[in-house]
Structure 1
Amino acid sequence: MMLFAISMATMLLFGFPFMVVLLGSLILYIAVYMPGFNFLVLVQQVLTGITPPALVCVPMFILAANIITSGKSAQKLIDMVRSFVGHIPGGLPITANACCTIFGGVSGSTQATVAAIGGTMRPMLLEAGYPSSFTLGLIINASDIAYLIPPSIGFIVYGVATSTSIGKLFLAGILPGILVFVLFSIYSYFYSRIKGIGQYPKAGTRERIRAVWQGLPVMGFPLVIIGGIYSGIFSPTEAAAASVIYALILETILYRSLTLKKIGDAFLQTGVITGVVFILVGAGQALSWMLSFLQIPQELMPLVLGADPSALRVIFAVIVAYFVACMFVDPIVAIYVLSPIFKPYVVAAGIDPVLLGTLVCLQTAIGSATPPFGCDIFTAQLIFRRPYFEVIRHTPPFIIILLIVTILLVMFPSIALFLPNNALV
């Protein structure tokens, strides 16, 4: 596989899109080392990856996120949260953390959250005196909460790849996501207090009432998605469709912020993003199949885990593998390629697949914001037009917090399992 690795590294350095890097390197490897290979098999594997019915909800959640990103929901949400916490030390970063958490309950995408919340919050943070590197580290890491708060695209892909209940995975991410928000907010409070920056004038009662009146409808998204799934009213796919309807009602009737052109642009952007996501999913399936065909996992995994690995050893290997992988490749590909490799060992060790899915999505979130090639780093570079080293300078404190949450999940699995074990899904 040396040729495959060299090809990927070279194409990445030349700036090719990752889906081209992955499929191009795979085709090159097959052409050189497997000249008689029937490429129709590769096409079939790509199509196999994108045909599971559960993936239908992905474009729906992306569309809902694009609709509200095109409207006023993000600003209304920020105004509401800031009116209550803006005056305390760290009030603005806490507002950013809270809004990323809540917005994650709509988009399920870290990149969409970076764009929607970061685009509004970063100028406010800079105006309040926060260093640019802090604002960037805060935004890209707080946006990663979207990978834990449903409807996480990572949970959807993991559920499809491992045949795990997506509804239970959604519920499993709620408490860990809230825990990350709380710890990020505590860090923001002490950072701001030590630096003596970041306080807004205290909002009056009338201002708070007005902000709540305008921002509270945005909170309907978590109620529709999480509440609908938790109560058994919706399946995840039905919840995705309901979120689109709710987004249209919110932005066209209540806020009156969308024109036909904006709606058309939202649909067009959804098509583009969905195409990229599905190509990555299909490419991940093709690579996973090729690795299995070459029996690489069967040769490598016994060396890594041993003949009879304990549950703790399997969990540790999973955490390290996904964390390192997502520092270099897209999380969707990492989940699709690694999950089938680890699945037999997870089953043999008796590990709850829902708990493992939560740990996997947490590691993909951490890796996405970790150098050298975490995808959220480049998203922030593109959106905010800042140098690479400025973007990554203040990420270590947040990554340490996320690793602490990982340890807590391993020590106390009920943090993730309490809701799914008591839900009607």
Structure 2
Amino acid sequence: MSIPVILFGSFVILLLLNVPIALSLGLSSLAAMLANDTLLTMLPMQLHTSIGKFTLLAIPFFILAGNVMEKAGISERLINLADKTVGHKKAGLAIVAVITSCFFAAISGSGPATVAALGAILIPAMIKSGYDKGMSASLLATSGAIGIIIPPSIAFVVYGSIAEQSIGRLFIAGITPGLLIGAALIIASLILCRKMPIEQKEKAPREEVWEALKDAFWGLMMPVIILGGIYGGIFTPTEAAAFSAVYGILVGIFVYKKINFKGFIDLLVESSVQSAVVLFIVASASVFAWIVTTEGIADMAGEAILTFSGGNKILFLLFVNIILLIAGCFIDAVSAFYLFVPILLPVALELGYDPVAFGVLMTVNLAIGQVTPPVGVNLYVASPMAGINLKEISKSVMPFILAAIAVLLLITYVPQVTLLLPNLMGVK
């Protein structure tokens, strides 16, 4: 039996048996290696080199920083600031949810973390104000997916490591698409809320807005420090991640005073577990990707895709979006990058598509995957907060998915939208 058949056959079987994606990738890779002694001897080296990269150190630091800022009470302060600013407008809480998600995304770098931190407060508040349960949970789930698009983004760190692209340029390239999706979600919310019996608040006095801004100041400074430090040449993305973790700890302990010694130890344990999960996926997926490349499977698949699209960039990009949207229904972003970057990126480069724009395109696809059943992780986080099941939230989320896909098509076929900020700022 050939290596490709063993590799992909065992992978599909394991997925159908509901084996976790990281184990499926690792076990199918091991099965393929057992059929080839030469490949098997390379296993220890591949496992070590896959996670022994300086760039990937950013992952545990960004995870720690996001957890610290969540426990420090920054989510409540961001919500309060947004509420005081735009909460009085029509569908104000929906707008607050999207704006706060964009801000928190610039701290956590994770979709589920954004939904967990904000949804616990906003979903009950929206339902109490007259919003539909499904709409409330769906909006938070979808806006939470912006967490892997707006920097700092763990997804961009992984893509940059695989594709050997500038993480700083990827970070800045993610800002415009992230904000566009936020705007699209607000428009969709305004349309959906027209027939809901929503309570409308009075406009907050200027003094309350100012107090809310001062209260949220230290949290708002975090993305400014991270991105300003990177683009100002003060530190690398990895160093920025470490600095943001230290900054978050200091703010949580000494400024907001929400983190004590026991809470700090719990944060370290929780962040270590989350980091171990991500890096285990990275190790398993990278070995799988190495076999795909070494055995020439990536080249064959790339040539087949190129032949299928007839060298037409429009058809190729459509094909890429369809593949990734389907893949996002079943696998996480990190695994998807290791599976598809070796196959799709060379074809994109051959057709003259910018690799940074392609990384953002892939990330937006996989962000949408966080809210597409049956494995839309954000849906599982948001639905219990609204007291609804997966079936109900899966129906309610469709308008928001369509809004996000509209933005996806824009950045796919007009990559200049994605590259506008990096080019203006001269980020390499």
Compute the TM-score of the two structures, normalised by the length of structure 2: 0.92
Q: How far does residue 30 in structure 1 lie from its aligned partner after superposition?
A: 4.6
Alpha carbons 2:136, 2:386 under 8 Å: kept: no
Q: Could you say which residue in structure 2 is the equivalent of 1:121?
A: 122
Change (3 A) 1:11 1:345: closer
Counterpart among 405, 423, 427 of residue 421 in structure 1: 423
Deviations 1:11-48 (A, max 9, x none): 556654332232233334554xx164653423322222
Cα drift, residue 382 of structure 1: 6.8
Map 1:284-363 to 2 at 5 A: 284-306=285-307, 309-363=311-365
For residues 45-124 of structure 1, the aligned pairs below 5 Å read 45-124=46-125
Q: Deviations over 1:137-186 (max 9, x none)?
A: 11111011111100111111110010010000000001111111111112
| Structure 2 spans left out of the alignment, 5+ residues | none
- Bigger CA drift: 36-45 or 171-180? 36-45
Q: Residue 230 of structure 1 contacts residue 424 of structure 1 at CA under 8 Å; is this kept in 2?
A: no
SS, match of residue 372 in structure 2: coil
Q: Aligned letter for 1:80?
A: L
1:245 positional shift: 2.3
**Structure 1 residue 3 displacement after superposition:** 6.2
Deviates more, 1:128-137 or 1:327-336: 128-137
Match of 1:197 in 2: 198
Measured against aligned partners, the alpha-carbon deviations of 1:53-89 in whole angstroms (never above 9, x if no partner) come to: 1111111111111111112111011011001111211
Pairwise CA distance, 1:359: 0.5
Kindly indicate whether the alpha-carbon contact (under 8 Å) linking 1:64 and 1:243 is maintained by their aligned counterparts in 2.
yes
Task: Count residues with an aligned counterpart.
Answer: 423
1:340-370 Cα deviation digits (max 9, x unpaired): 1122212222211111111111011012211
Q: Cα gap change, 1:424/1:35 in structure 2, threshold over 3 Å: closer, same or farther?
A: closer
Q: Deviations over 1:381-415 (max 9, x none)?
A: 57767422123121111111111111211343222
Moved over 6 A (4+): 382-385
Report the CA distance between 1:206 and its aligned residue. Answer: 2.9
2:409 alignment partner in structure 1? 407
CA shift digits 1:111-146 (9 cap, x unpaired): 111111112211111111222211221111101111
Preserved contact between residue 92 and residue 198 of structure 1 (Cα < 8 Å): no
| In structure 2, C-alpha distance between the alignment counterparts of 1:324 and 1:200, rounded to whole Å | 41
What does 1:223-238 correspond to in 2, within 5 Å? 223-238=224-239
Give the secondary-structure state (helix, strand or coil) at the position aligned to 1:357. helix
Deviations 1:191-240 (A, max 9, x none): 22332315334323332222122123221112112222233333211211
Residue pair 2:159, 2:359 contacting (<8 A) in 1 also: yes
Shift of 1:9: 5.5
The more displaced of 245-254 and 332-341 is 245-254
> Is residue 115–residue 383 contact of structure 1 (8 Å, CA) maintained in 2?
no
Mapped partners of 1:292, 1:189: distance in 2: 47
Q: How does 1:264-275 map to 2 (within 5 A)?
A: 264-275=265-276
Q: Which has the larger displacement, 344-353 or 381-390?
A: 381-390
**Cα deviation code 1:96-119 (max 9, x no counterpart):** 111111111011111111111112
Alpha-carbon distance, 1:302 to partner: 2.5
Deviation larger for 154-163 or 9-18 = 9-18
Does structure 2 conserve the Cα–Cα contact (< 8 Å) formed by 1:90 and 1:191?
Answer: no
Q: 2:369 aligned with 1:367, yes or no?
A: yes
Q: CA deviation at 1:377?
A: 2.8
Q: Kindly provide the amino acid, as one letter, of the partner of residue 221 in structure 2.
A: G
